[in-house]
Chain A
Amino acid sequence: MLFGILVNEGPYQHQASDSAYLFAQAAIEEGHTIFRVFFYHDGVNNGTRLATPPQDDRHIPNRWSELAEKHNIDLVLCVAAAQRRGMVDPDEMKRNKKDADNIASKFRISGLGQLIEAGVQADRLITFGD
């Protein structure tokens, strides 16, 4: 089955990102395919490469990057939500004249159309959040 995943909450504050990650991992193990993981609302904060959690805790952004690297998963941060919350990739850095970017490996920033497309193309779109 082709799954789309929507993550609506930030890392650590809320379990949504953890559950989405575990779901994606389990789905892949069962032979399913992840069409895209779309991060919206505070969910865009999952894409920061500047997070430094304690060493005995899971590293949520890195875990997503590694999963995407291993299974070629499309990780997309909503551009409007990202701009509000200061999530920046090199293109956004140039466009908005910022002095840095902070996006983690394998994440990209794009529009809400990518979420709608996931809804249309995937067999199931699963939302993680309240």
Chain B
Amino acid sequence: MEEELEGGVVKKFLYVNRRAPHGTIYAHEALEVVLIGAAFDQDVSLAFIDDGVFQLKKEQDTADIYTKNFSKIYSALEMYDVEKLYVEKESLESRGLTEDDLSVDVKIINSKEMKKLIIDSEVIFNF
């Protein structure tokens, strides 16, 4: 698909992940967009806020609910050159989580910095 694009257009893409990983399909299908989007050589960031921070929780096990455990894909994002992952501090704290509970390296920012990240982005996907 890349060749269909006009050459040289690079936009700041931000994927905002707001929902728990399981219970609805949004998080899973959001990840599919990120993986396909990675082929387009855009400036990509991922943000995790609200229950979205649970998407990065270590040691997820979905065997008993018969859904796909896609949590390992987050740690593979680096191979797709998706390296900017931002987690909102307040969302983590209010859920009793710390950086140690997360399965990938992230940058933890406060809600004010998160607001700036969103404002500075050009194409925002909200899942």
Contact = CB atoms under 8 A, between A and B. Distances in A.
A80 B68 CA distance: 15
Interface stretch (B1-9, B58-66, B108-116): B1-9
Interface stretch (B33-41, B79-87, B89-97, B98-106): B33-41
A5 interface: no
A40 B29 contact: yes
Interface residues of A, number: 18
Given A125-B123, A127-B125, A116 B37 contact: yes
A120 B9 contact: yes
A41 interface: yes
What is the predominant secondary structure among interface residues of chain B facing chain A?
A: mixed
Contacts of A120: 5, 9, 11, 40, 42, 123
Interface stretch (A20-28, A63-71, A96-104, A107-115): A107-115
B26 A41 contact: yes
Contacts of A121: 5-6, 9
B25 interface: yes
What is the predominant secondary structure among interface residues of chain A facing chain B?
A: helix
Contacts of A119: 11, 13, 42, 123, 125
Contacts of B36: 111-113, 116
B5 A111 contact: no
B4 A117 contact: yes
Given A111-B1, A113-B36, A116-B40, 20 more contacts: A41-B25, A80-B32, A111-B36, A113-B1, A113-B4, A113-B40, A114-B1, A115-B33, A116-B37, A117-B40, A119-B13, A119-B125, A120-B9, A120-B123, A121-B5, A121-B9, A125-B123, A125-B124, A127-B124, A127-B125
6 contacts: A40-B33, A113-B36, A116-B33, A117-B40, A120-B40, A125-B124
Interface of B: 1, 4-6, 9, 11, 13, 25-26, 29, 32-33, 36-37, 39-40, 42, 123-126
